[in-house]
Structure 1
Amino acid sequence: MSRFCIYCGTTGSEDNPVVDGICLKCMLKRGRLIKLRKNRIRVDICKICYSIKIGYKWFETSGFEDAISSIIDNIVPKLLEPSSKEQVFFIRKYEFITKASWKTVVRVYVSTFFGGIQIEVPLDITIFLNPVKCPRCRMYDSREFEAVVQIRGYPLSYISQVLEKVFLEDRRLLRDFIESISFHNGIDVYFFTHGAARKLARKLVHILDAHIMETYEETGMRSGRQRARLYISLKPRE
């Protein structure tokens, strides 16, 4: 029995195959090949340093265009809804329909396959950037934190996994934990106390075989005593 499209009746051709009773042209016309679960999203961006919040983490960016690029790389793929679970797809490129700003319309071009043919599907998404202060800028403004563990020279994905494991194994560290902020070259972990920062640093020294250094920054007086903020640096041994 020959296959035919239930919508237009075509039996298909080399450039318009029929799969499961629907031809490629009808799939595209009805937007069923691949679509966005929602075409408007809102993402928090720091109005001071342009870091953006993805999930529960903050990531450094250099401005609107860089922020949009990070959103397309890390958030938009999770919003794509293919026609089947087995469908392979990826974002090949994107372009700005409007100038990158607090409200930006972006067209992403998604490559996927249908009946053995590779297809590029354009999808428009509107990205709203919600201006807030990131934890780092709030902390610098309020000067609330007491210690920072600065981890550099390791793959970010590896460090994130290590930190998650350490915090899961030692819940007491979480009592004094404030926030972790990712950069292109490492992660800063902020604490309310020197003791918690040193405890994390000791654990990481053994796990990462890291070189450790401590420095202090005087931050004024509290209850008649000089207050000093602790910075602990962890880097690979040379």
Structure 2
Amino acid sequence: MSRFCIYCGTTGTEDNPVVNGICLKCMLERKKLIKLRKNSIKVDICKICYSIKIGYKWFETSGFEDAISNIIDSIVPKLLMPSSREQVFYIKKYEFVTKASWKTVVRLYIITFFGGIQIEVPLDITIFLNPVKCPRCRMYDSREFEAVVQIRGYSPGYISQILEKIFLEDRRLSRDFIDSISSNDGIDIYFFTHGAARKLARKLANILNAHIVETYEEAGMRSGKQRARLYISVKPRE
């Protein structure tokens, strides 16, 4: 049985194959080969340090171009929609259609395959950078964090995976999250509230079978009342 395109009727050629009833030319004309779920995205960027927010985390960048490069590497691939689940594709390169700024048009060049032929598909996406002050800069400016969960004695990569899962599943906890800072000793997680810090510590203790210890530090006065900053240590049991 010969194959033909349901749109134009061609039975296909070497450079215009027919796959599942559609030829390559019609796939490209109808933009069905690969497309973007949406043509624009908005990402928070710190107007002080140029960090960008991806998921629940903030990542440092050196400016607009570096921020957009990180967005293209981390966010844009998830927006690409191929014509089938089996379709192989990747971003070969990109170029700025407009100058990198708060609103930037970027042209992506996507490599994919159809009927054994490699195709390069250009797609434009508009990236809006939303100027905010990142939690770390807010914290440094105001020193307003109320609690810190100090995680020690575990692989940073393993802990990062656990934290990402916890924050994705618990939106209320993520609202009180300020920032995570890694060091040679471990990871410190900053929160706006004592309750959120205790909640995270309990979750980590259950997952890791860890030992937790609470201590307090005086943090000045607020509205005539003494403030106490909470520190929670999470370590392996001895």
Q: Check whether TM > 0.5.
A: yes
Q: Equivalents in 2 of 1:25, 1:182: separation in Å?
A: 49
- Identify if the C-alpha distance between structure 1 residues 157 and 226 changes in structure 2 by more than 3 Å, giving closer, same or farther: same
Query: Aligned pair in 2 of structure 1 residues 221, 113: CA closer, same or farther (>3 Å)?
Result: same
Q: Is the 8 A contact 1:180 1:187 kept in 2?
A: no
Trace 1:124-143 onto structure 2 (pairs within 5 A).
124-143=124-143
The one-letter code matched in structure 1 to 2:36 is L
Give the equivalent residue in structure 1 for 2:48: 48
> Aligned ranges for residues 66-215 of structure 1 at < 5 Å?
66-151=66-151, 153-155=155-157, 156-161=160-165, 174=173, 178-181=176-179, 188-193=189-194, 197=197, 200-201=200-201, 204=204, 207-208=207-208
Is the contact between residue 178 and residue 192 of structure 2 (CA under 8 Å) also seen in structure 1? no
Report the Cα offset of residue 130 of structure 1. Answer: 1.1
SS at match of 2:69: helix
Give the secondary-structure state (helix, strand or coil) at the position aligned to 1:127: strand
Deviations 1:119-169 (A, max 9, x none): 23121111010112233433444433211225475222233225667x69x
Secondary structure of 2:131's aligned partner: strand
Q: Which amino acid aligns with 1:111?
A: I
Compared CA separation, residues 203 and 82, structure 1 to 2 (3 A)? closer
Which has the larger displacement, 214-223 or 102-111? 214-223
- Is the Cα contact below 8 Å between 2:112 and 2:118 reproduced in 1? yes
Alpha-carbon displacement from aligned partner over 1:173-213 (angstroms, at most 9, x marks no partner): x5x971153568756341422x7636644663674477989
**SS of match in other structure, 1:104:** strand
Percent identity between the two aligned chains: 73
Check whether the contact 2:50–2:60 (CA below 8 A) recurs between aligned residues.
yes
CA distance in 1, matches of 2:85, 2:222: 59
Please say if residues 204 and 210 of structure 1, whose CA atoms lie closer than 8 Å, have aligned partners that are also in contact: yes
Q: Where does residue 61 of structure 1 map in the other structure?
A: 60
Structure 2 length normalisation: TM-score? Answer: 0.72
Mean alpha-carbon deviation: is it higher for 22-31 or for 1-10? 1-10
Q: Per the alignment, in what secondary structure is the counterpart of residue 48 of structure 1?
A: coil
Residue deviations 1:6-56, cap 9 Å, x none?
A: 44443322332111332212322332211113222222222123232334x
CA shift in 2, pair 1:202/1:21, >3 Å: closer
Is 1:150–1:232's contact at 8 Å kept on the other side of the alignment? yes
- State which drifts further: 122-131 or 108-117: 108-117
Q: Which blocks of at least 5 consecutive residues in structure 1 are unaligned?
A: none
Hey, what's the Cα distance between the residues in 1 that align with 2:177 and 2:188?
10
- 2:93 & 2:199 partners in 1: Cα distance? 44
- Once structures 1 and 2 are overlaid, which stretch shifts more, 202-211 or 134-143? 202-211
TM-score (norm 1): 0.72
Distance 2:164 2:103 in 1: 31
Q: Which amino acid aligns with 1:192?
A: T
Contact 1:209 1:236 in 2 (8 A): yes
Alpha carbon RMSD of aligned pairs, Å? 3.8
**CA distance in 1 between partners of 2:119 and 2:235 (Å):** 45
Give the Cα separation in 2 of the matches to 1:126 and 1:163: 28
User: 1:26 maps to which residue?
Assistant: 26
2: CA distance between counterparts of 1:50 and 1:181? Answer: 15
The total of aligned residue pairs comes to 229
Worse-matched range after superposition: 144-153 or 36-45: 144-153
Secondary structure of the structure 1 residue equivalent to 2:156: coil
Distance 1:83 1:12 in 2: 18
Letter in 2 for 1:160: E
Deviates more, 1:86-95 or 1:215-224: 215-224
Amino acid at match of 1:158: I
